[in-house]
């Protein structure tokens, strides 16, 4: 299955891509599988979305799909069907902090 992924502008620039990317996760379509596929296809992004060693989400990075914040959900939870079938994108969003 092909999953559409929207990355923040800074990560698109780093990877040298424009617009959304398409990845093919192996096995079940989970957040971990999608992030594994992104890092495999774009190795320069390793360590930017999640820690290289612990694989935990980096601070200030959030994940959304189908108008839901998936950031706090388990990495191995299945993503919504609309994401798995390519109808809706998986969004990686860089949060902004400050005041």
Q: Classify domain 3-94 by CATH number.
A: 3.10.20.30
Q: pLDDT digits over 7-24, tens only?
A: 999 999 999 999 999 999
Positions of E strands within 1-99: 3-6, 21-23, 61-65, 68-69, 90-94
Res. 97: pLDDT tops 80: no
SS3 4: strand
Alpha-carbon distances, residue 71 vs 17, 41, 74 (angstroms):
24, 22, 8
Q: pLDDT digits over 44-90, tens only?
A: 999 999 999 999 999 899 999 999 999 999 999 999 999 999 999 99
Q: Domains of the chain: which residue ranges?
A: 3-94
**Residue 39 carries which DSSP code?**
H
């Amino acid at each position: 299955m092909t999953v559409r992924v929207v990355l923040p502008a800074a990560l698109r620039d780093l990877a040298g891509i424009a617009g959304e990317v398409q990845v093919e996760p192996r096995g079940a379509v989970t957040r971990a599988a999608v992030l594994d596929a992104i890092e495999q296809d774009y190795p320069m992004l390793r360590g930017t979305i999640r820690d290289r060693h612990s694989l935990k989400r980096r601070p200030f990075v959030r994940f959304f799909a189908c108008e839901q914040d998936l950031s706090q959900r388990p990495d191995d939870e299945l993503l919504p069907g609309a994401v798995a079938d390519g109808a809706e994108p998986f969004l990686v969003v860089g949060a902004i902090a400050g005041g």
